[in-house]
Structure formats: structure tokens, C-alpha cells
Amino acid sequence: MKEALWRVPLSVTLQNGMPRLFRGPYDALDFLEYEWPSHGKWHHRAIRDCRAALSGIVAAEVARASFAAACAEASLSLSDAHAAGVAETSAKPAAKRQH
């Protein structure tokens, strides 16, 4: 799989109130598969689109839109990292796991 990054990362506020930066489909997929708080229509679609983006089947921005919709479905607050003032170097990235 090829790592594809989003033009603008997403900052998501987790249920514990901590912000988390997602830079691309790999970060989002890892979170969706291992830490996601609720499963629904958009959760499944976001997993599908993130995998497709990593395989080069769809654009990374398609996966970003699906992940954003899944966040809304799960009542997780999100914003563009740049608009939220999150510095990419100071934000903790999603943990990397072997798939």
C-alpha cells in the first residue's frame, strides 16, 4: 500500500477531550479499525474508502470526506488542522500498527 497524505490534515477531538491529528488514510484507517467508538454506515464506508485510497483506487480526498462523515456520525468534533491552529509537528500522530 502507498501512503497518501491529505492536503489538509484533520484534527479530531476524541471522546476523552484530547485532540488527535490525522494526516491521511493510513492514520484514519488505523483509528477506524482499532479505536473507533461506534460502528455505523459511515464507519464502514470510511474503512472501504481509506483502503481504496491506499491502494490507489480512489483519491485520498475521497477517504478524507468519508472519514469526516464517520466522525460526524460518531459525534466526534473535527476541523481542518490548519484552521484549528494545530501545529503538525506538535500534534501526536496516530500510532502505526502493522496490518
60-71 residue pLDDT tens: 999 999 999 999
In a domain, 68, yes or no: yes
**What local confidence, expressed as pLDDT, does residue 67 receive?**
97
The alpha carbon dihedral of 94, 62, 54, 30 has a sign of: positive
**What local confidence, expressed as pLDDT, does residue 85 receive?**
52
Q: How many domains does one find in the chain?
A: 1
Tens of pLDDT along 69-92?
999 999 999 988 765 455 443 344
In a domain, 93, yes or no: no
User: Distance between CA atoms of 45 and 34, rounded to whole angstroms?
Assistant: 16
- Of the candidates 42, 57, 43, 49, the residue with the CA atom closest to the CA atom of residue 26: 49
Q: In Å, how far are 2, 16, 25, 52 from 99, measured between CA atoms?
A: 13, 26, 13, 15
Range of the domain at 63: 10-84
**What local confidence, expressed as pLDDT, does residue 82 receive?**
64
User: Distance between CA atoms of 43 and 75, rounded to whole angstroms?
Assistant: 12
Tens of pLDDT along 35-56?
998 889 999 999 999 999 999 9
In a domain, 79, yes or no: yes
